[in-house]
């Protein structure tokens, strides 16, 4: 057995290094009170202005007058919404009547004393209220994401939860909302913490080895034990980094790329899906030159649909750049939809040009468009020939975008393909942001470096593990790395 007290002391001391200092806690208590509009600016029934910080009591006393009472005379009751008049702090004039609610620290979003003022949402009311607040001592306008940053600094949420809150605010589809909720609940946090814990336990073992050396005070096999733990952690992280575990598609959305030969009806399909004239459609082959993106909600998923230039050899500089971009877009697509023109296939003896054929796999959805323009008596036979021209097992849909044949089946079919292909049951992907991926990739490199070392290099090995643990800490923000924090919080709106 490794000496328990030694291991325990090491784990405790490493943890101590990574938690926030008391000094920081003191700094938090003396900071300014912040305010911001928490609702979108503009004309509306109600706007909510949030105020948080050590001067909240004074703010309330100065500008909130409960109906039927004197200014600030009522007791500030936690989480109780009251009808009130709101006064200008400069001259005492009633600027609006509305509602106010107080949240007593630490039972608030930021964990500080917080008030929310509900007023009529008009430019005049809000600008008067804002200037009144900024006139109060120790009070200033909040920066982007500052309320959330305070919640994070107080340890109420970790960085993955802060990111999930931003995702929730930005969610447009049901899948995005569901996944953001999971993050807000702290599911990712728990899993990242468990990984970090594994790295720390392995580090404690290795450090004990440095102090005592194997065989003396420490049980034989301690080094192997640490290596086993690291190998397991490495496998776990590698699994989460694998292409099948891309959780980013739940938050940022997945990309659907429409590709095919010129004039097949790719842009017509985009317009049909978007239900507007998003792309130019003409009978001239080579109309679309660049990649065009439209974000849509398909079956609750955020799907970024891309229209691309028709794939063909071209001596035209602009078109050939478009063709190159189209090829890259298909390569990077989560879902590729190939649009072919059935009359065109009939004319060229059912030959799919290589430039297109090389992108068609069993994962591709192939659409045989313009079925309205072929002889109905021969449609069945031609569809069979077309099927033979594509890889066996490729899902094929005969359609006419112009006449509407097969279009409602196509919409339902696409929704089914997306649900079936990207829905995850049980083994939930962990990585929902590129930032997490970057930290896990770096962790993996440090773990690999550790595993490449032998027991004779135990000091170096400990260093690699320390880096790995630090990299994992950056995901949840357990170690304050200013540039990581700034990058996360600057994505927020003011008022959150």
What residue ranges bind ligand GTP (CB under 6 A)? 262-268, 281-283, 285-288, 309-310, 369-370, 372-373, 400-402
| Cα 405 off chain centre by | 37
Spatial separation of the C-alpha atoms in residues 254 and 438, rounded to whole Å: 19
Interior angle at CA 341, CA 340 and CA 346, nearest 5: 115
370 binds, among Mg ion, ligand GTP, none (CB under 5 to 8 A by kind): ligand GTP
* In contact, 158 and 184? CB cutoff 8 Å: no
- What residue ranges in 80-233 does DSSP mark as E strands? 82-87, 94-103, 114-121, 139-141
DSSP string, 4-35: HHHHHHHHHHHHHHHSPPHHHHHHHHTSPEEE
Q: How far is the CB of 399 from ligand GTP (least distance, A)?
A: 7
* In contact, 341 and 263? CB cutoff 8 Å: yes
Instruction: Write down the H helix ranges in 242-294.
Output: 248-251, 266-274
Spatial separation of the C-alpha atoms in residues 36 and 11, rounded to whole Å: 41
User: Mask: binding to Mg ion, 450-489, rule CB under 5 A, as x and -?
Assistant: ----------------------------------------
Nearest to ligand GTP of 363, 372 (CB atom): 372
Nearest to ligand GTP of 126, 399 (CB atom): 399
322 binds, among Mg ion, ligand GTP, none (CB under 5 to 8 A by kind): none
Q: How far is the CB of 410 from Mg ion (least distance, A)?
A: 18
293 binds, among Mg ion, ligand GTP, none (CB under 5 to 8 A by kind): none
Beta-carbon neighbour count of residue 335 at 10 Å? 21
Helix axes 458-476, 434-451, angle to 10 degrees: 170
Nearest to ligand GTP of 215, 313 (CB atom): 313
* In contact, 451 and 195? CB cutoff 8 Å: no
Which residue of this chain has its Cβ atom nearest to ligand GTP in the complex?
A: 310
141 binds, among Mg ion, ligand GTP, none (CB under 5 to 8 A by kind): none
263 binds, among Mg ion, ligand GTP, none (CB under 5 to 8 A by kind): ligand GTP
| Cα 427 off chain centre by | 19
Q: How far is the CB of 336 from ligand GTP (least distance, A)?
A: 15
Nearest to Mg ion of 282, 424 (CB atom): 282
**Exposure b/e, 74-90, CB count within 10 A at least 16 = b:** bebeeeeebebbbbbbe
Nearest to ligand GTP of 207, 319 (CB atom): 319
User: Mask: binding to Mg ion, 272-301, rule CB under 5 A, as x and -?
Assistant: ---------------xx-------------
> Does the footprint of Mg ion cover residue 110 (CB under 5 A)?
no
> Does the footprint of Mg ion cover residue 267 (CB under 5 A)?
yes
Nearest to Mg ion of 160, 288 (CB atom): 288
Spatial separation of the C-alpha atoms in residues 241 and 244, rounded to whole Å: 8
Nearest to ligand GTP of 126, 281 (CB atom): 281
Q: Candidates 106-114, 223-231, 265-273, 298-306 — which segment interacts with Mg ion by CB under 5 A?
A: 265-273
Nearest to ligand GTP of 46, 318 (CB atom): 318
**Exposure b/e, 387-412, CB count within 10 A at least 16 = b:** eebbeeebebbbbbbeeebbbeebee
Which residues would be at the binding site for Mg ion (CB under 5 A)? Answer: 266-267, 287-288
């Amino acid at each position: 057995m490794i000496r328990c007290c030694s291991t325990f002391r090491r784990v405790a001391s490493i943890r101590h290094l990574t938690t926030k200092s008391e000094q920081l806690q003191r700094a938090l208590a003396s900071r300014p009170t912040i305010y911001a509009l928490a609702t979108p600016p503009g004309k509306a029934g109600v706007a909510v202005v949030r105020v948080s910080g050590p001067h909240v009591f004074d703010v309330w006393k100065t500008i909130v007058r409960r109906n039927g009472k004197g200014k600030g005379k009522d007791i500030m009751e936690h989480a109780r919404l009251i009808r009130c008049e709101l006064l200008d702090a400069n001259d005492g004039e009633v600027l609006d009547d509305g509602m106010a609610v107080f949240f007593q620290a630490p039972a608030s979003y930021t964990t500080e004393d917080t008030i929310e003022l509900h007023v009529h949402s008009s430019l005049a009311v809000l600008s008067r209220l804002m200037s009144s607040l900024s006139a109060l001592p120790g009070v200033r306008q909040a920066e982007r994401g500052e309320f959330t940053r305070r919640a994070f600094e107080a340890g109420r949420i970790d960085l993955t939860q802060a990111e999930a809150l931003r995702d929730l605010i930005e969610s447009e589809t049901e899948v995005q909302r569901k996944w953001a909720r999971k993050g807000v609940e702290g599911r990712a946090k728990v899993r990242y913490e468990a990984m970090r814990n594994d790295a720390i336990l392995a580090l404690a073992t290795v450090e004990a080895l440095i102090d005592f050396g194997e065989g003396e005070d420490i049980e034989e096999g301690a080094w192997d034990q640490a290596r086993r733990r690291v190998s397991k952690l490495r496998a776990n992280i590698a699994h989460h980094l694998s292409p099948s575990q891309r959780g980013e598609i739940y938050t940022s959305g997945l990309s659907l790329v429409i590709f095919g030969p010129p004039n097949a009806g790719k842009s017509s399909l985009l317009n049909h899906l978007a239900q507007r004239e998003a792309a130019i459609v003409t009978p001239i082959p080579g109309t679309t030159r660049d990649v065009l993106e439209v974000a849509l909600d398909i079956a609750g998923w955020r799907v970024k649909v891309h229209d691309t230039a028709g794939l063909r050899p071209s001596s035209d500089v602009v078109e050939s750049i478009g063709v190159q971009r189209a090829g890259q877009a298909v390569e990077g697509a989560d879902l590729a939809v190939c649009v072919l023109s059935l009359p065109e296939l009939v004319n060229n003896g059912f030959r799919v040009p290589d430039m297109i054929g090389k992108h068609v796999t069993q994962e591709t959805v192939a659409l045989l468009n313009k079925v309205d323009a072929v002889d109905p008596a021969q449609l069945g036979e031609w569809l069979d020939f077309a099927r033979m021209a594509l890889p066996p097992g490729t899902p094929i849909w005969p359609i006419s975008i112009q006449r509407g044949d097969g279009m409602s089946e196509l919409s339902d079919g696409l929704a089914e393909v997306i649900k079936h292909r990207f829905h995850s049951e049980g083994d939930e992907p962990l990585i929902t942001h590129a930032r997490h991926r970057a930290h896990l990739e770096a962790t993996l490199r440090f773990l690999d470096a550790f595993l490449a070392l032998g027991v004779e290099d135990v000091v170096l090995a400990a260093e690699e593990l320390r880096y790995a643990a630090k990299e994992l800490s950056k995901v949840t923000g357990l170690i304050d790395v200013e540039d990581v924090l700034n990058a996360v919080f600057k994505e927020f709106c003011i008022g959150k």
